[in-house]
Amino acid sequence: MKVLVLNSGSSSQKSCLYELAGALPEHPPEPPWQGTIEWAPLGQLANLDVKHAGSRVIHEERAIRSRQEAIEHLLHTLWEGKARVISGPEEINVVGHRVVHGGQEYTQPTVITPQVIAALSRLAVFAPLHNRAEVEGIETVERVVGPVPQVAVFDTAFHSQLPLPAAAYPGPFEWLEQGIRRYGFHGINHQYCAERAAQLLAKDLDSLRLVTCHLGNGCSLAAVRNGRSIDTTMGFTPLDGLMMGSRSGSIDPGILTYLMRQSQMTGEEMDDLLNKKSGLLGISGVSSDMREVLTAMASGNPRAKLAFEMFVHQLRSYIGAMIGVLEGIDVLVFTAGIGENSPEVRATACGGFGFLGLKLDLEKNARPQADQDIATPDSAVRVLVIRAQEDWAIARECWRLARDAASVDLRLRAQDETATAKASQFQKLKETERP
Ligand code: AMP
């Protein structure tokens, strides 16, 4: 089965093609085709890369007239030119999309129908930058690949069973009725890491209390018990919680009302300030990239030092909060760009938990292999570094959904491509969706 995955973000478009036969492999396979576009403002040059099994085959700088056109161009490289890996779009069996916000309605991977697209567009009020890009991706696939089944996998879904005391904000009760509550994000990766941790440790996931730390451009933690997220640091939006590359994370809401009164800032200006000019960038004045902050700190930049120290202070504080919610901890997971690559961040964060018997193997921490336990054998807490594999996690969900729909021919390339035929094919898949 050939599964195409689209991960449409506000700043990049990542795509992968996976080829799955028989049972799912134990280790995430290297996708035979991987395409990425790093977006630039319209009219400027965007970077487009295609890799085969990790090696670059195409690198282009392209002037972008529209995002759809660029995604269309990227998809065509699957079956045209030197990067081609399939003979035509009809070979693709299913397309999976990462969708950031599924609201309260979507808590499972879902076959995309016109109704789902309408709902995703409605949910764009909660995540305007993301959900719009995702709908564009879905429509482009529909146009370029044809009537292939498409599946939405939601970043909010893993957190959809947060207990109400963790999900509710202590504003007026009516907020809950209006959908103002903690949704949580990065759920695809938090869930993947929890499952992968259990696999690596050869333990039943239900027996483990895990704190998963997704530390990338965006940062969030999740507390996982019985295989479920029971608390997380991101909230109503991906702005909540830990400070991030250029996002503030949680701040006293009184600062916002103060700024509104003092400087008459508009909502948009405030959004820009909190999302793009805060966090590591805002404090260091150097960069939103932890690598550059670390380099500046090493050369004596006091603001870079403060940014790093604030980051690890907050990280320790949130790990502690999650341990309290879990009533203990068996496994601490570090994942995503900073989590996977910064020994300094991991060591400083773990240094706060020696009193629990957590002991880091400093050599392993300095140079971890992909997906490795970096705690000493006698540590009371396992500490794992796990490579974020969102695209693979999405492909797996598509595979599971397709397996559940085994009686349906997934190559829904109907002879009769009328809207009615397409709707009934989607319907057949939908009937087999898990509850
Ligand atoms: P992600 O969003 O998962 O792609 O993570 C991106 C972030 O990872 C970058 O902004 C960097 O701050 C961080 N990162 C990547 N490599 C390193 C590294 N070697 N050391 C520290 N941070 C890193």
* 276, burial (CB in 10 Å: exposed 0-12, middle 13-18, buried 19+): middle
**Identity of the residue numbered 139:** E
Q: Is the pLDDT of residue 16 over 90?
A: yes
- Could you give the residue numbers annotated as active site? 155
Q: Is the pLDDT of residue 408 over 90?
A: no
The enclosing H or E element of 225 equals strand 219-225
| Residue pLDDT, tens place only, 143-168 | 999 989 999 999 999 999 999 999 99
Contact 336 CB / ligand 1 (< 6 Å): yes
What distance in Å separates the CA atoms of residue 93 and residue 382, rounded to the nearest whole number? 39
Q: Is the pLDDT of residue 421 over 70?
A: no
Contact 245 CB / ligand 1 (< 6 Å): yes
Q: Kindly tell me the sign of the dihedral angle through the C-alpha atoms of 381, 382, 387, 393.
A: negative
Lowest average pLDDT, out of 12-26, 187-201, 308-322, goes to 12-26
Mutation choice for ligand 1 from 192, 242, 311, 341, CB with most ligand atoms inside 8 A: 341
pLDDT of amino acid 8:
84
Q: In the chain, which segments carry CATH 3.30.420.40?
A: 2-154+404-432, 202-385
The phi, psi pair for 200, rounded to 5°, reads -65, -35
The phi, psi pair for 261, rounded to 5°, reads -75, -45
Please check whether residue 339 is in contact with residue 216, taking contact to mean a CB–CB distance below 8 angstroms. yes
What distance in Å separates the CA atoms of residue 191 and residue 402, rounded to the nearest whole number? 20
Please check whether residue 111 is in contact with residue 150, taking contact to mean a CB–CB distance below 8 angstroms. yes
Contact 36 CB / ligand 1 (< 6 Å): no
Q: Is the pLDDT of residue 36 over 60?
A: yes
Q: How many CB atoms lie within 10 A of CB 305?
A: 17
State the distance from the centre of ligand 1 to the C-alpha of 342, rounded, in angstroms.
Answer: 8
Mutation choice for ligand 1 from 291, 335, 348, CB with most ligand atoms inside 8 A: 291
Average pLDDT over residues 311-335: 98
Mutation choice for ligand 1 from 290, 293, 348, CB with most ligand atoms inside 8 A: 290
Q: Are strands 372-373 and 382-385 parallel, antiparallel or unpaired?
A: antiparallel
pLDDT of amino acid 248:
98
State the distance from the centre of ligand 1 to the C-alpha of 131, rounded, in angstroms.
Answer: 24
Q: Is the pLDDT of residue 423 over 50?
A: no
Contact 99 CB / ligand 1 (< 6 Å): no
pLDDT of amino acid 430:
45
Q: Give the DSSP per-residue string, 366-427.
A: HSPPSSEE-B-TT-SSEEEE----HHHHHHHHHHHHHHHTTTS-S----SS--HHHHHHHHH
Average pLDDT over residues 53-67: 89
Q: Is the pLDDT of residue 58 over 60?
A: yes
pLDDT class of 406 with cuts at 50, 70, 90: low
Does the pTM surpass 0.95? The reply is no
pLDDT class of 204 with cuts at 50, 70, 90: very high
Please check whether residue 220 is in contact with residue 184, taking contact to mean a CB–CB distance below 8 angstroms. yes
> Under CATH, domain 202-385 is a member of which superfamily?
ATPase, nucleotide binding domain (3.30.420.40)
Q: Which residues contact 145 (CB under 8 A, 6 or more apart)?
A: 4, 75, 89, 92, 95
State the distance from the centre of ligand 1 to the C-alpha of 176, rounded, in angstroms.
Answer: 35
State the distance from the centre of ligand 1 to the C-alpha of 34, rounded, in angstroms.
Answer: 20
Tokens of 409: 């021919």
Tokens of 222: 């999740």
Which residue has its alpha carbon closest to ligand 1 atom 20?
Answer: 342
Contact 337 CB / ligand 1 (< 6 Å): yes
CATH 3.40.50.720 fits 2-154+404-432, yes or no: no
Average pLDDT over residues 411-429: 43
Average pLDDT over residues 293-321: 98
Q: Is the pLDDT of residue 274 over 60?
A: yes
What distance in Å separates the CA atoms of residue 110 and residue 199, rounded to the nearest whole number? 26
pLDDT averaged over every residue in the chain: 90
pLDDT class of 264 with cuts at 50, 70, 90: confident
pLDDT of amino acid 27:
85
Average pLDDT over residues 383-410: 83
| Residue pLDDT, tens place only, 213-252 | 999 999 999 999 999 999 999 999 999 999 999 999 999 9
Among residues of the chain, what percentage have pLDDT more than 70? 93
What three-state secondary structure class fits 216?
Answer: coil
Q: Which residues contact 418 (CB under 8 A, 6 or more apart)?
A: none
Which residue has its alpha carbon closest to ligand 1 atom 23?
Answer: 338
Region for 103 from its dihedrals, namely left if φ exceeds 0, alpha if ψ lies in -120 to 50, beta otherwise: left
pLDDT of amino acid 139:
93
What distance in Å separates the CA atoms of residue 120 and residue 102, rounded to the nearest whole number? 7
pLDDT of amino acid 23:
84
